[in-house]
Structure 1
Amino acid sequence: MKEKHRSMKQYKTRSKKIDIASKNLIIFMTTIVILILTILISFILYKSVNFFKEFSFFKFIFSGDWSPGKDGASDSSYGIGRIIASTLMMLLISLIFAIPLTIFSSLFITEYLSGRLKKFVILFIQLLAGIPSVVFGLFAIDQIGPMFVKMGAPTGANMMTASLTLSFMALPTMIALSINAIEAVPEGHKYASLALGMTKERTTFSVVLVSASPKIVTAIITGIARIVGETMAVILIAGNSTRGLNVDDGFTGFLFSSIKTLAGTIGLEMLENNGSIHESSLYAIGLVLFFVVIIINLLIMAIGNISNSNRNRHKKNKKFASIGYNKNYTYNSHKLDVLVQTNTESRFRKKVHSTVLRAFMISSTAIIIGFISWILITVIANGLINFNYYSFVEITGQRSGIFALLLTTILLVVSTIIIAIPLSLFIALYLAEYAHKDSKFAKIIRFCINVLASTPSIVFGVFGLSLFVTAMGLPMSIFAASLTMTIVIMPTMITSFEDSITSVPTLYKEAAYGMGMSKSGVMFKVVIPNSLKGFMTTVILSVSRIIGESAPVYLTLGTAVRMPSDGFFSSGATLTTEIYMLASEGSTAELLGTAYQIAFVAILLVLGLIILSRYISNKLDPLHKNVTWKSKFINLYNSIFKFHYRAWFKKLFKNIRRKFKKLFRTISYKNIRIYYKNSRIRKKVIKDIIKDAKGPRKTN
């Protein structure tokens, strides 16, 4: 008995020591990451100081002439006013395209689609999110730019090309967050609206959209950060002229201006600067971008606080207006009968309103799916047409070929993931399991993580170039690029890991504690195993982000195509950086063909990762464990080869014909006359009822 008691005491002591060691390790790793983030901000401030010693901040912001020269040159000028104006105008045009498409498509996907069709559309939009930005740039150079040239643009690289391309690049993030916001609207709101006689479309826009609007605004602001921070694609398609917006050649000349953006200026000039002042001015632009991101995150927090305060406002503070009805008033049944008889006007308006809104929603979703199909078909077709086995061995003008690019990309992914996973996991465990919900320290950490998650990747690239390559003396290599990419993907991984940990049911933890398990035991034996599904999905999506990034890799790894013979200390180029180099060198058929071939390989890689993430999610889901490959193949075979296509198309055309007949009958001349007549009668009757209800005015 004494031995049993002694062993139990030793077990508790050992568990307590393990808990303390685990907690200290998590706090230590969290401190390291916070220190890295502090160094990032401090380093950018420090590198900007030299510039602001020579030039005032207001002159830098509001002056429009940007023509850097060598240090001490009298003709040098550092004003980013025109660049800021060009960036904001490009952002505005992008939002004009992106916001309606986001709202209409999100509502249609959430409220009107269900089952397999909804999953298919969401998967299609996820494909758009997985396409690397330089592939968008290549596609815009080859397809969108020539389209605007036919409309009167002097060149294919202009503000409209950049704006349209960036709007579709921001759509996946905006739509995904908007769908989450719409799905969070309580079902009771919709049922109550439908019970009051409102149509499906009016309920969708007047109830669902209004309820989800604060979070949709947050999604749009997140998309703004994506548009402002894009670098490499903008360099390819915006024109890069320092003249700014063209206001001399009319409206067409204005829209097709050749512009340079804030992030694009850093990417273009960082590796080829004219001296310390020029380099410091580029860091100052990075500081401006960083402040823009902070303002965006503060706006998101403010919108969230406003929505919460409106939701929690007490009913007694609400003021209702009254019009003082006459209690002795007796309703005139004849007037009410007239209102009922003329209800045709209300039905006609509802039909037209519903038809118009439904058309907007369907067309918006069709535009997005059509654009995704356009870019995928273009890249795949051109990749297959220009497919050449020799390019895998050696690209024209380079030492190696696509195989070397693929190997360098894989080594970059492996080294980045090895560093990023433990750091992100430890911080997520601290925020989810150790930090108090109302702790100011935890709130500061979360705010910093959100700021870094929306910081343009070019800022991280500049930081990695200056700290890891210049200050620490590391060569431009896979290792330096992986350290930089770790900082790029870590904020998103931390947030996703924390969401996966907090989604573990509390009952699991309580049951584990009830069985005598320690804090560390619960974490490593209950919390983490039940979060593996979310962890694996996050890791695979982070791998896709690493493959798609080009700005940080371009600055810290290099651009020469070569085999990574020195392992993780090899310099070289990845798939995306080589696409950028080929697209920026010119638009000859040979260069574009090779670029499309590399883009085809990159998209296949990203598509494989998306399929792998879905497979792992289904494999770790207990509801799908009994589904075998044989049953999946049989279901796929039946859905393709045993589907009654003829009956389906016959039913589809019959429904379309019936809808059109109903529409033409509704908008016929006879019904419009009835609508106009009833509208006048209803207005007169309602006016008389309100006048009678108020009663005669009292006179002194």
Structure 2
Amino acid sequence: MLKNNAKSLPKAKTSKVDLSTKFSIIFVTTVVLMILAILVGFILYKAVPVFSEFSFFKFLFSGEWKPGRDGEAGASYGLGKIILSTLVMLFITLLFSIPLTIFSSLFITEYLKNKTKKFVVTVIQLLAGIPSVVFGLFALDQIGPIFVAMGAPSSGNMMTASFTLAFMALPTMITLSINAIEAVPEGHRYASLGLGMTKEKTTFGVVLVSAMPKIITAIITGVARIIGETMAVILIAGNSSKGLNTDDGFFGFIFSSIRTLAGTIGLEMLENHGNIHESALYAIGMVLFFIVIIINLLIIAIGNINKKKSKSIKKVKHKKVKIKQNEYEYDSYNLNILVQTYTEKRFGKKAESAILNFFMISSTAIIVAFTSWILLTVTIKGIGGFDPGAFVEIEGQRSGIFALIFTTVLLVLATIIFAIPLALTVAIYLAEYAHKDSKFAKIIRFAINVLASTPSIVFGVFGLSLFVVAMGIPMSVFAASLTMTMVILPSMITAFEDSITSVPQLYKEAAYGMGMTRTGVLFKVIIPNATKGLVTGTILAVARIIGESAPVYLTLGTSVRMPTEGFFSSGATLTTQIYMMASEGNDPHTLGVAYQIALVTIFLVLGLNFLSKYIGVKLNPIHKKVPFKVKIKAFISIFTWTNIEKAYKKTKKDTISIYKKWSSLFNFKKMKIHFKNAKTRNNVIKTIKEEAKNNSKKDIKINVKEKED
């Protein structure tokens, strides 16, 4: 196999154009890396002033967060309670998300057939496409009141935030877990089943254990998403800096009004009281950034451990092991009893399989039900509270939804104009010019991974300070687009690199064999054949831009107005307006308009996600065009009487088989026989152990006598 780097390709003549192209690509890559380094350095620089007033340990572990003006008595900046609240919320979120991730991922990969699997995966992708502020609006309106009925003082509390964040993190965790489980070799499954293990025992005892290191990586990636979420948490967590409520018992504790690290930045950055307060908020961003670095180092460490294990398994040499024969010979009668009674022990296996099946099916059903709940709620409330006048003018604002759409489109265009050249240049360098073992390439990849999981509010704070405050650019589409470029760059670079490396090596070799220069191969062979991945990555980045709210909120503004000044217009996007309306209160008309905007946003984001898939299928050379008439006939044929009758019979048959399976578990005659056999078996095992013990005592006495003699 040829490696995907320059050394594996036939040597071509290096022209001046090739050299200039190479140095241009390296130069742009270096500039991008420097921009990312400036981001980190700027945040560290801005965080320094607070440590001149408060020590680092006092800042981290003191429990009082009382911002004040510079020099004001009583002002305190301690993150102890906020960090503790964030960690407890994270723990409760993982209690929800980890079991759902493991059970649903195993069920999707190991039990579902192609069509059903495709449907469930599509549902999970729909859940991933819902913007975070829509989650916040839905949780505030639907989930919060459920906890209020259970005794919570308000809709905004730790349980509402934890429950909602669990489902926000699930798509990332499940997608990565599915990839990990599918990577387990089929031989592991066949070997386990061949030894007589049940399907469920194989799934949990072999497949899950083999995929566990990568599943842990998926969970850690989800942790980064949970810790970094900002706008949704501000809406539903309560935002009290007093910390956890430990005075009102268990329910008072879990329904505490809390504030998270990222939420504190989003709440106070635009209304800080002075340099020290602003510096403290930057210090929180620094803490979040270090947490993300630790998370990525953990992922790398787990990956290295997994690689070392696989290498050590390959290097193990078969050594001859002398097997000592057991001096004790088992009685044939006892062995026959053990074999007969153990082969009849099926109740435990059936019960175990039934319990595991129940958890897997129910976990998958919960995810599908939650996705249906949120999408149906947004659709029904968005259509039910439809106000045509809101498209022209929202009550209390200058303009309406059309202005929000235009501002969002301008933001998308400006961001893509900046992001595509930078992302494509870095991706070309990593895929075609960088050596896999070079330190420079490793640094770039690590930086990309860190920034991909960095909370978007950190980018927003950086954009506000650098572009708006330091450079004097007004809060506008232009300033927001520069900020959003940094937000989407890591994911775009990764997507573009994958598409470039997927171009077959033979294409490049053939082009070099025909005498093409390296630049010619790049622009005439590699990029045209990577178009599918490039377009898909761009569309997914556009969906990310539409769904983001935290960086846009800090650099674009919140007033609803038509972007008459073009790229230098301030205003609000669809997501920032949803946040503003949801934070205003529970006014029915306001929530109705918010749901209307949420419906438009979801249609845009999900439409772009499906467009990326459609383009991917269309650009696939294997794709065959199916006539429209054939598609219509195939769709209509589903609803013919014959197919309906077949579906009914199959459902009836499956229902009867499930009933028989469950009823067999509670057959009291069989249970009586099983208990009787278990008693006999235990007695035999007890007898064997006693005989073995007596024989060992005799052997010890004989050895002692021999030594004395």
TM, length-normalised to structure 2: 0.93
Partner of 1:532: 531
Note the alpha carbon deviations across 1:548-584, whole angstroms, 9 max, x for none: 1000000000000000111111110000000000001
Equivalent residues of 1:618, 1:625 under 8 A apart: no
Q: What secondary structure, in the 3-state scheme, does the structure 2 residue paired with 1:623 have?
A: coil
- Deviation, 1:646, is 3.8
- Deviation, 1:525, is 2.5
Partner of 2:592: 593
Partner of 1:177: 176
* 384-393 vs 686-695, which moves further: 686-695
2:61, 2:446 → 1: CA distance?
29
1:642, 1:581 → 2: CA distance?
51
Judged with a 3 Å threshold, the aligned counterparts in structure 2 of structure 1 residues 160 and 385 are, in CA distance, closer, same or farther, namely same
Partner of 1:448: 447
2:342, 2:300 → 1: CA distance?
46
Counterpart of 1:37, as a letter, is: L
Question: How do 1:137-286 residues align onto structure 2 when only pairs under 5 Å count?
Answer: 137-286=136-285
Note the alpha carbon deviations across 1:51-91, whole angstroms, 9 max, x for none: 11111111111111101011110110111100000000110
Q: What secondary structure, in the 3-state scheme, does the structure 2 residue paired with 1:120 have?
A: helix
Name structure 1 gaps, 5 residues minimum.
1-11
- Deviation, 1:331, is 5.7
Judged with a 3 Å threshold, the aligned counterparts in structure 2 of structure 1 residues 671 and 531 are, in CA distance, closer, same or farther, namely same
Counterpart of 2:193, as a letter, is: L
1:120, 1:60 → 2: CA distance?
49
Counterpart of 1:652, as a letter, is: T
Partner of 1:516: 515
- Deviation, 1:315, is 6.8
- Deviation, 1:192, is 1.0
Judged with a 3 Å threshold, the aligned counterparts in structure 2 of structure 1 residues 92 and 328 are, in CA distance, closer, same or farther, namely closer
- Deviation, 1:335, is 3.4
* 400-409 vs 513-522, which moves further: 513-522
Q: What secondary structure, in the 3-state scheme, does the structure 1 residue paired with 2:638 have?
A: helix
1:670, 1:323 → 2: CA distance?
47
Partner of 1:113: 112
Judged with a 3 Å threshold, the aligned counterparts in structure 2 of structure 1 residues 268 and 339 are, in CA distance, closer, same or farther, namely same
Question: How do 1:638-649 residues align onto structure 2 when only pairs under 5 Å count?
Answer: 638-640=637-639, 644-649=643-648
1:470 aligns with 2:469: yes
2:624, 2:19 → 1: CA distance?
37
2:248, 2:600 → 1: CA distance?
42
Q: What secondary structure, in the 3-state scheme, does the structure 1 residue paired with 2:239 have?
A: coil
- Deviation, 1:680, is 3.2
Judged with a 3 Å threshold, the aligned counterparts in structure 2 of structure 1 residues 627 and 521 are, in CA distance, closer, same or farther, namely farther
1:685, 1:21 → 2: CA distance?
84
Judged with a 3 Å threshold, the aligned counterparts in structure 2 of structure 1 residues 383 and 323 are, in CA distance, closer, same or farther, namely farther
Equivalent residues of 1:141, 1:237 under 8 A apart: yes
1:34 aligns with 2:33: yes
Judged with a 3 Å threshold, the aligned counterparts in structure 2 of structure 1 residues 318 and 339 are, in CA distance, closer, same or farther, namely farther
Q: What secondary structure, in the 3-state scheme, does the structure 2 residue paired with 1:624 have?
A: coil
Note the alpha carbon deviations across 1:504-536, whole angstroms, 9 max, x for none: 232332233233232222222222222222222
Question: How do 1:343-354 residues align onto structure 2 when only pairs under 5 Å count?
Answer: 343-354=342-353
Note the alpha carbon deviations across 1:600-641, whole angstroms, 9 max, x for none: 100111121122111101101122233333333332332345
Q: What secondary structure, in the 3-state scheme, does the structure 2 residue paired with 1:419 have?
A: helix
Partner of 1:133: 132
Question: How do 1:189-588 residues align onto structure 2 when only pairs under 5 Å count?
Answer: 189-314=188-313, 325-326=324-325, 332-588=331-587
Name structure 2 gaps, 5 residues minimum.
1-11, 705-709
2:604, 2:93 → 1: CA distance?
28
Q: What secondary structure, in the 3-state scheme, does the structure 1 residue paired with 2:241 have?
A: coil
1:641, 1:375 → 2: CA distance?
32
1:361, 1:555 → 2: CA distance?
42
Partner of 2:94: 95
1:596, 1:340 → 2: CA distance?
65
Q: What secondary structure, in the 3-state scheme, does the structure 1 residue paired with 2:436 have?
A: coil
- Deviation, 1:311, is 1.4
Identity, % of aligned positions: 66
- Deviation, 1:665, is 2.3
Judged with a 3 Å threshold, the aligned counterparts in structure 2 of structure 1 residues 217 and 318 are, in CA distance, closer, same or farther, namely farther
Q: What secondary structure, in the 3-state scheme, does the structure 2 residue paired with 1:312 have?
A: helix
Q: What secondary structure, in the 3-state scheme, does the structure 2 residue paired with 1:271 have?
A: helix
Q: What secondary structure, in the 3-state scheme, does the structure 1 residue paired with 2:273 have?
A: coil
1:570, 1:44 → 2: CA distance?
27
2:641, 2:80 → 1: CA distance?
63
- Deviation, 1:314, is 4.7
- Deviation, 1:19, is 1.5
Counterpart of 1:130, as a letter, is: G
1:318, 1:279 → 2: CA distance?
61
1:476, 1:612 → 2: CA distance?
32
Counterpart of 1:141, as a letter, is: L
Judged with a 3 Å threshold, the aligned counterparts in structure 2 of structure 1 residues 340 and 574 are, in CA distance, closer, same or farther, namely same
Counterpart of 1:601, as a letter, is: V
Note the alpha carbon deviations across 1:469-502, whole angstroms, 9 max, x for none: 1111111111110110010011111112112222
1:319, 1:86 → 2: CA distance?
53
Equivalent residues of 1:270, 1:282 under 8 A apart: yes
Q: What secondary structure, in the 3-state scheme, does the structure 2 residue paired with 1:248 have?
A: coil
- Deviation, 1:644, is 2.2
Equivalent residues of 1:344, 1:678 under 8 A apart: no
- Deviation, 1:537, is 1.6
Counterpart of 2:668, as a letter, is: Y
- Deviation, 1:679, is 2.3
Counterpart of 1:304, as a letter, is: G
2:680, 2:478 → 1: CA distance?
79
1:131, 1:240 → 2: CA distance?
23
Judged with a 3 Å threshold, the aligned counterparts in structure 2 of structure 1 residues 153 and 501 are, in CA distance, closer, same or farther, namely same
* 638-647 vs 665-674, which moves further: 638-647
Partner of 2:3: none
2:687, 2:522 → 1: CA distance?
71
Judged with a 3 Å threshold, the aligned counterparts in structure 2 of structure 1 residues 437 and 335 are, in CA distance, closer, same or farther, namely same
Partner of 1:608: 607
- Deviation, 1:467, is 0.5
Counterpart of 2:87, as a letter, is: L
1:242, 1:404 → 2: CA distance?
36
2:529, 2:682 → 1: CA distance?
62
Equivalent residues of 1:345, 1:679 under 8 A apart: no
Partner of 1:655: 654
1:683, 1:317 → 2: CA distance?
39
2:322, 2:573 → 1: CA distance?
71
1:444, 1:252 → 2: CA distance?
47
TM, length-normalised to structure 1: 0.95
